[in-house]
Amino acid sequence: GPDGLPCIHLDLTHLGADRINSRLPLIREVCIKFIGLDPIDKPIPIRPVAHYSMGGVETDIDGATRIPGIWAAGEAAAVSLHGANRLGSNSTGECLVWGAITGAAIANALATLPAPAPVPEAVLRRCEGHIREVMAREGSENLYGLRRELRTMMDRDVGVFRRGDELCRGLSVVREIRERSHREPVHAKGALYNSNLFNALELENLLDLAEVTIVGALAREESRGAHARRDFDSRNDEQWLKHTLAWYTGGAPRLDHKPVTLDAWKPVERKY
Protein backbone atom coordinates (compact mmCIF):
# COMPACT_ATOMS: atom_id res chain seq x y z
CA GLY A 1 0.00 0.00 0.00
CA PRO A 2 0.99 3.67 -0.02
CA ASP A 3 3.76 4.73 2.40
CA GLY A 4 4.84 1.10 2.82
CA LEU A 5 1.72 0.19 4.81
CA PRO A 6 0.51 -3.43 4.52
CA CYS A 7 -2.93 -2.10 3.50
CA ILE A 8 -4.77 0.68 1.70
CA HIS A 9 -7.55 2.74 3.26
CA LEU A 10 -11.18 2.57 2.25
CA ASP A 11 -12.80 5.85 3.22
CA LEU A 12 -16.55 5.69 3.88
CA THR A 13 -16.71 8.81 6.05
CA HIS A 14 -18.31 10.88 3.25
CA LEU A 15 -21.39 8.58 3.44
CA GLY A 16 -22.27 9.91 6.89
CA ALA A 17 -23.58 8.13 9.99
CA ASP A 18 -27.20 7.65 8.78
CA ARG A 19 -26.23 5.97 5.51
CA ILE A 20 -23.56 3.75 7.12
CA ASN A 21 -25.96 2.70 9.90
CA SER A 22 -28.80 1.90 7.52
CA ARG A 23 -26.89 0.38 4.57
CA LEU A 24 -23.65 -1.01 6.04
CA PRO A 25 -24.40 -1.90 9.68
CA LEU A 26 -22.55 -5.25 9.54
CA ILE A 27 -19.40 -3.70 8.10
CA ARG A 28 -19.47 -1.10 10.86
CA GLU A 29 -19.98 -3.79 13.51
CA VAL A 30 -17.05 -5.89 12.21
CA CYS A 31 -14.73 -2.85 12.18
CA ILE A 32 -15.67 -1.86 15.72
CA LYS A 33 -15.47 -5.41 17.10
CA PHE A 34 -12.26 -6.52 15.39
CA ILE A 35 -10.10 -3.39 15.25
CA GLY A 36 -11.90 -0.86 17.45
CA LEU A 37 -12.38 1.51 14.52
CA ASP A 38 -15.62 3.27 13.63
CA PRO A 39 -15.91 3.75 9.84
CA ILE A 40 -18.21 6.73 10.47
CA ASP A 41 -15.12 8.61 11.68
CA LYS A 42 -12.11 6.91 10.12
CA PRO A 43 -11.08 5.09 6.92
CA ILE A 44 -10.96 1.28 7.10
CA PRO A 45 -7.58 -0.41 6.47
CA ILE A 46 -8.13 -3.12 3.83
CA ARG A 47 -5.98 -5.73 2.07
CA PRO A 48 -6.63 -8.84 0.00
CA VAL A 49 -6.80 -12.18 1.83
CA ALA A 50 -7.26 -15.77 0.73
CA HIS A 51 -10.83 -16.62 1.66
CA TYR A 52 -11.51 -19.66 -0.48
CA SER A 53 -9.51 -22.58 -1.89
CA MET A 54 -10.43 -23.33 -5.47
CA GLY A 55 -10.09 -26.94 -6.50
CA GLY A 56 -10.14 -29.76 -3.99
CA VAL A 57 -10.74 -33.48 -3.84
CA GLU A 58 -11.88 -34.65 -7.27
CA THR A 59 -15.47 -35.95 -7.22
CA ASP A 60 -18.13 -36.95 -9.70
CA ILE A 61 -21.39 -35.02 -10.02
CA ASP A 62 -22.79 -36.80 -6.92
CA GLY A 63 -19.79 -36.05 -4.71
CA ALA A 64 -18.22 -39.54 -4.94
CA THR A 65 -14.42 -39.66 -5.06
CA ARG A 66 -12.42 -42.36 -6.85
CA ILE A 67 -12.06 -44.18 -3.52
CA PRO A 68 -15.17 -46.30 -2.87
CA GLY A 69 -16.92 -45.21 0.32
CA ILE A 70 -15.41 -41.69 0.37
CA TRP A 71 -17.42 -38.64 -0.68
CA ALA A 72 -16.53 -34.94 -0.58
CA ALA A 73 -18.76 -31.86 -0.62
CA GLY A 74 -18.41 -28.12 -0.11
CA GLU A 75 -15.15 -26.24 -0.27
CA ALA A 76 -13.12 -29.45 0.09
CA ALA A 77 -14.56 -30.89 -3.14
CA ALA A 78 -13.82 -30.22 -6.81
CA VAL A 79 -17.12 -31.12 -8.49
CA SER A 80 -16.19 -29.09 -11.61
CA LEU A 81 -18.80 -26.51 -10.78
CA HIS A 82 -17.11 -23.13 -10.53
CA GLY A 83 -14.96 -22.87 -13.63
CA ALA A 84 -11.62 -21.21 -13.02
CA ASN A 85 -12.98 -18.60 -10.63
CA ARG A 86 -15.48 -19.26 -7.85
CA LEU A 87 -17.79 -16.26 -8.05
CA GLY A 88 -19.16 -14.46 -4.99
CA SER A 89 -21.76 -16.39 -2.95
CA ASN A 90 -21.49 -19.53 -5.10
CA SER A 91 -19.67 -21.29 -2.30
CA THR A 92 -22.64 -21.13 0.05
CA GLY A 93 -24.85 -22.22 -2.85
CA GLU A 94 -22.55 -25.17 -3.53
CA CYS A 95 -22.62 -26.21 0.15
CA LEU A 96 -26.42 -26.16 0.19
CA VAL A 97 -26.94 -27.95 -3.14
CA TRP A 98 -24.09 -30.48 -3.01
CA GLY A 99 -24.51 -30.99 0.72
CA ALA A 100 -27.97 -32.32 -0.11
CA ILE A 101 -26.94 -34.24 -3.26
CA THR A 102 -23.91 -35.84 -1.62
CA GLY A 103 -25.73 -36.57 1.62
CA ALA A 104 -28.51 -38.32 -0.31
CA ALA A 105 -25.94 -40.28 -2.36
CA ILE A 106 -24.26 -41.47 0.85
CA ALA A 107 -27.60 -42.40 2.43
CA ASN A 108 -28.52 -44.41 -0.69
CA ALA A 109 -25.19 -46.17 -0.81
CA LEU A 110 -25.17 -47.14 2.87
CA ALA A 111 -27.64 -49.98 2.37
CA THR A 112 -25.35 -51.83 -0.03
CA LEU A 113 -21.94 -50.55 1.00
CA PRO A 114 -19.78 -53.28 2.55
CA ALA A 115 -18.59 -52.63 6.11
CA PRO A 116 -15.25 -50.81 6.07
CA ALA A 117 -12.32 -53.22 5.95
CA PRO A 118 -10.03 -53.00 8.99
CA VAL A 119 -7.06 -50.71 8.46
CA PRO A 120 -4.12 -52.96 7.54
CA GLU A 121 -1.68 -53.45 10.43
CA ALA A 122 1.26 -52.27 8.29
CA VAL A 123 -0.48 -48.94 7.58
CA LEU A 124 -1.20 -48.41 11.30
CA ARG A 125 2.45 -49.14 12.13
CA ARG A 126 3.61 -46.70 9.45
CA CYS A 127 1.35 -43.91 10.81
CA GLU A 128 2.41 -44.58 14.41
CA GLY A 129 6.05 -44.59 13.35
CA HIS A 130 5.59 -41.25 11.60
CA ILE A 131 3.96 -39.66 14.67
CA ARG A 132 6.77 -40.99 16.86
CA GLU A 133 9.32 -39.53 14.45
CA VAL A 134 7.57 -36.11 14.54
CA MET A 135 7.40 -36.16 18.37
CA ALA A 136 11.11 -37.03 18.62
CA ARG A 137 12.29 -34.16 16.41
CA GLU A 138 15.05 -31.96 17.77
CA GLY A 139 16.51 -28.70 16.54
CA SER A 140 16.15 -24.96 16.59
CA GLU A 141 13.36 -24.44 14.04
CA ASN A 142 10.07 -22.99 15.24
CA LEU A 143 6.89 -24.67 14.02
CA TYR A 144 4.79 -21.51 14.12
CA GLY A 145 7.56 -19.45 12.51
CA LEU A 146 7.68 -21.95 9.62
CA ARG A 147 3.90 -21.77 9.19
CA ARG A 148 4.15 -17.97 9.09
CA GLU A 149 6.97 -18.10 6.51
CA LEU A 150 4.87 -20.40 4.33
CA ARG A 151 1.84 -18.08 4.56
CA THR A 152 3.91 -14.99 3.78
CA MET A 153 5.48 -16.66 0.75
CA MET A 154 2.11 -17.87 -0.59
CA ASP A 155 0.75 -14.32 -0.23
CA ARG A 156 3.76 -12.85 -2.01
CA ASP A 157 4.50 -15.38 -4.77
CA VAL A 158 1.29 -17.36 -5.35
CA GLY A 159 -1.44 -14.69 -5.21
CA VAL A 160 -3.91 -13.96 -7.98
CA PHE A 161 -1.21 -12.36 -10.17
CA ARG A 162 1.64 -14.80 -10.73
CA ARG A 163 4.87 -14.98 -12.71
CA GLY A 164 6.99 -18.01 -13.52
CA ASP A 165 10.09 -16.75 -11.69
CA GLU A 166 8.06 -15.91 -8.56
CA LEU A 167 6.37 -19.31 -8.62
CA CYS A 168 9.79 -21.00 -8.92
CA ARG A 169 11.03 -18.99 -5.96
CA GLY A 170 7.91 -20.03 -4.01
CA LEU A 171 8.51 -23.67 -4.87
CA SER A 172 12.04 -23.55 -3.54
CA VAL A 173 10.75 -21.92 -0.31
CA VAL A 174 8.23 -24.77 0.11
CA ARG A 175 10.97 -27.36 -0.33
CA GLU A 176 13.28 -25.50 2.04
CA ILE A 177 10.55 -25.22 4.72
CA ARG A 178 9.79 -28.93 4.31
CA GLU A 179 13.45 -29.72 4.88
CA ARG A 180 13.70 -27.38 7.89
CA SER A 181 10.47 -28.79 9.38
CA HIS A 182 12.43 -31.96 10.27
CA ARG A 183 14.30 -29.81 12.81
CA GLU A 184 11.20 -28.33 14.52
CA PRO A 185 10.71 -29.87 17.95
CA VAL A 186 7.16 -30.59 19.14
CA HIS A 187 7.46 -29.25 22.68
CA ALA A 188 4.19 -30.62 24.12
CA LYS A 189 4.53 -34.36 24.73
CA GLY A 190 0.95 -35.26 25.74
CA ALA A 191 -0.92 -38.02 23.92
CA LEU A 192 -4.32 -36.33 24.30
CA TYR A 193 -5.37 -33.26 22.30
CA ASN A 194 -1.80 -32.21 21.60
CA SER A 195 -2.24 -29.04 19.54
CA ASN A 196 1.55 -28.75 18.96
CA LEU A 197 1.48 -32.17 17.35
CA PHE A 198 -1.51 -31.56 15.11
CA ASN A 199 -0.08 -28.19 14.05
CA ALA A 200 3.11 -30.03 13.03
CA LEU A 201 1.10 -32.64 11.11
CA GLU A 202 -1.04 -29.91 9.57
CA LEU A 203 2.10 -28.12 8.35
CA GLU A 204 2.92 -31.25 6.32
CA ASN A 205 -0.52 -31.02 4.67
CA LEU A 206 -0.13 -27.27 4.06
CA LEU A 207 3.24 -27.91 2.41
CA ASP A 208 1.73 -30.63 0.19
CA LEU A 209 -1.09 -28.31 -0.89
CA ALA A 210 1.25 -25.36 -1.43
CA GLU A 211 3.50 -27.54 -3.61
CA VAL A 212 0.56 -28.86 -5.66
CA THR A 213 -0.79 -25.32 -6.12
CA ILE A 214 2.58 -23.99 -7.30
CA VAL A 215 3.48 -26.93 -9.56
CA GLY A 216 0.00 -26.72 -11.17
CA ALA A 217 0.25 -22.93 -11.58
CA LEU A 218 3.73 -23.17 -13.12
CA ALA A 219 2.62 -25.77 -15.65
CA ARG A 220 -0.47 -23.78 -16.66
CA GLU A 221 1.17 -21.27 -18.98
CA GLU A 222 -1.93 -19.18 -19.61
CA SER A 223 -4.30 -16.91 -17.67
CA ARG A 224 -7.75 -18.20 -16.75
CA GLY A 225 -10.19 -17.07 -14.08
CA ALA A 226 -8.40 -16.43 -10.82
CA HIS A 227 -5.08 -17.70 -12.22
CA ALA A 228 -3.53 -14.61 -13.82
CA ARG A 229 -0.01 -15.25 -15.16
CA ARG A 230 1.65 -11.93 -15.87
CA ASP A 231 4.03 -13.78 -18.20
CA PHE A 232 1.20 -15.58 -20.09
CA ASP A 233 -1.63 -13.10 -20.03
CA SER A 234 -4.16 -14.67 -22.39
CA ARG A 235 -6.36 -17.74 -22.18
CA ASN A 236 -5.35 -20.77 -24.23
CA ASP A 237 -8.39 -23.04 -24.64
CA GLU A 238 -6.64 -25.25 -27.16
CA GLN A 239 -4.11 -26.44 -24.59
CA TRP A 240 -5.64 -25.64 -21.25
CA LEU A 241 -9.41 -26.04 -21.26
CA LYS A 242 -8.99 -28.85 -18.73
CA HIS A 243 -8.68 -29.51 -15.02
CA THR A 244 -5.32 -30.19 -13.44
CA LEU A 245 -5.18 -33.28 -11.23
CA ALA A 246 -2.19 -33.86 -8.96
CA TRP A 247 -0.99 -37.17 -7.56
CA TYR A 248 1.52 -37.79 -4.80
CA THR A 249 3.13 -41.13 -5.51
CA GLY A 250 6.49 -40.38 -3.90
CA GLY A 251 8.64 -37.32 -4.56
CA ALA A 252 7.19 -34.27 -6.32
CA PRO A 253 3.50 -34.21 -7.30
CA ARG A 254 2.71 -35.75 -10.68
CA LEU A 255 0.26 -33.75 -12.80
CA ASP A 256 -2.51 -35.19 -14.90
CA HIS A 257 -5.56 -33.63 -16.56
CA LYS A 258 -9.27 -34.15 -16.90
CA PRO A 259 -11.65 -32.61 -19.45
CA VAL A 260 -13.97 -29.84 -18.28
CA THR A 261 -17.68 -30.66 -18.54
CA LEU A 262 -19.20 -27.91 -20.66
CA ASP A 263 -22.95 -27.65 -20.89
CA ALA A 264 -25.18 -24.66 -21.54
CA TRP A 265 -22.58 -22.02 -20.65
CA LYS A 266 -19.51 -21.92 -22.86
CA PRO A 267 -16.51 -19.93 -21.65
CA VAL A 268 -16.15 -16.59 -23.41
CA GLU A 269 -13.39 -14.02 -23.41
CA ARG A 270 -13.38 -11.77 -20.36
CA LYS A 271 -14.29 -8.26 -21.46
CA TYR A 272 -13.88 -6.34 -18.20
| Shortest distance (Å) from residue 75 CB to ligand FAD | 4
List the x/- string, 164-203, binding to ligand FAD by CB under 6 A: ----------------------------------------
Please identify, among the stretches 15-23, 73-81, 151-159, 247-255, the one whose residues bind ligand FAD according to the rule CB under 6 A.
73-81
Taking CB under 6 A as the criterion, the residue among 58, 62, 75, 149 binding ligand FAD is 75
The DSSP H or E segment spanning 227 is: none
Instruction: Using the minimum distance from each CB to ligand FAD, give the nearer residue, 65 or 90.
Output: 90
The DSSP H or E segment spanning 58 is: strand 57-58
The SS3 call for residue 136 is coil
Q: How far is CA 34 from the centre of its chain?
A: 24
| Shortest distance (Å) from residue 52 CB to ligand FAD | 5
Please identify, among the stretches 1-9, 72-80, 155-163, 242-250, the one whose residues bind ligand FAD according to the rule CB under 6 A.
72-80
The reply on whether position 57 binds ligand FAD by CB under 6 A is no
Question: At a CB cut-off of 8 Å and minimum separation 6, what does 237 contact?
Answer: 267
Instruction: Using the minimum distance from each CB to ligand FAD, give the nearer residue, 21 or 53.
Output: 53
Round to whole Å and give the CA distance between 93 and 56: 17
Query: What is the DSSP-derived secondary structure letter of residue 127?
Result: H
The reply on whether position 51 binds ligand FAD by CB under 6 A is yes
Q: Which 77-136 positions form the footprint of ligand FAD (CB under 6 A)? A: 88-92, 95
44, 31 Cβ separation under 8 angstroms = yes
The reply on whether position 52 binds ligand FAD by CB under 6 A is yes
Which one, of 225, 223, 216, lies nearest residue 246 by Cα? Answer: 216
The reply on whether position 38 binds ligand FAD by CB under 6 A is no
Instruction: Using the minimum distance from each CB to ligand FAD, give the nearer residue, 64 or 171.
Output: 64
| Shortest distance (Å) from residue 175 CB to ligand FAD | 25
Integer Rg of the chain from CA: 22
Q: In this structure, how many other beta carbons lie within 10 angstroms of the beta carbon of residue 81?
A: 16
Alpha helices in 49-163 (DSSP H): 90-110, 121-135, 143-157
The SS3 call for residue 254 is strand
Please identify, among the stretches 28-36, 60-68, 74-82, 207-215, the one whose residues bind ligand FAD according to the rule CB under 6 A.
74-82
Round to whole Å and give the CA distance between 83 and 230: 20
Instruction: Using the minimum distance from each CB to ligand FAD, give the nearer residue, 26 or 117.
Output: 26
Instruction: Using the minimum distance from each CB to ligand FAD, give the nearer residue, 92 or 261.
Output: 92
The DSSP H or E segment spanning 23 is: helix 16-23
Instruction: Using the minimum distance from each CB to ligand FAD, give the nearer residue, 80 or 91.
Output: 91
Binding site for ligand FAD (CB under 6 A): 51-52, 74-76, 88-92, 95
